[in-house]
Amino acid sequence: VRVRLLRAGTNEFFVWGRGNEGQLGLGFRKSQLSPVRYPYIHNTRIISLAAGGNHSIAVAGWWWWWWGG
């Protein structure tokens, strides 16, 4: 499974999939087989999410978060 993102309401999303290069943005290089709430965005409206094989991006307010290998 490549990177998967799931928006859950306005202010949170879940990530899972291949994480060997840090593309899940969870602070470690390990794959995640089941969804985990992304812990680093709080009280910020999530506008858009996108994921590829080696990267993920979240647009939240004026900020972009980018992580990958």
Average pLDDT of span 1-15:
88
Smallest Cα–Cα separation from 7: which of 42, 39, 37, 43?
Answer: 37
**How confident is the model over 16-29, as pLDDT tens digits?**
998 888 888 888 88
Tens of pLDDT, residues 11-63: 889 999 988 888 888 888 899 999 999 988 878 888 999 887 777 888 887 66
CA distances (Å), origin 19, targets 31, 35, 66: 4, 12, 14
